[in-house]
A and B are shown apart, each in its own frame.
Chain A
């Protein structure tokens, strides 16, 4: 199972929006509505931000939103804040009852 493809980096100024893509195939992203997104600050464990493509766990700000079209999922962070600077990973359930993560995107708040 190959890793899902994410851009290595993304950036935006405070208050702006940034969108991160996550491209897979019909065997994972395109085949299931089980895409999730994780935020990871340096030295910390990942934190779930979005599950089932677009749902937010309790406590996650509504500045974070998710969507999917075909084999590509996206995470949008609106109203960027300094604390949003982190690495972001997507993940998808895949054929064969396995999971695959994305390559990761480093988000910088300018």
Chain B
């Protein structure tokens, strides 16, 4: 069973647009929800993360929205730039365990 479901698989937006990537999780014991960004040929790198005691977190142009009752969280990228073109992964974990990742979203921002 897929514990973290991510959508869409790919996304194309124009520069300045606001791409939104969604994730849903199964396990209510998860207590850490990060988003990772990966550029071609590189390893994933942490972008932003949230814990279930808050509903929203902003870091620069990146925002996580979290809905505990719906077991969903999403990534919004404000004023998207061509340099944001990358693959984005959501993930979830509970204390002391490994991250479980979604299947990824390939974002392309056209100029």
* A, B from the same assembly: no
B-to-A contact residues, CB < 8 Å: none
A-to-B contact residues, CB < 8 Å: none
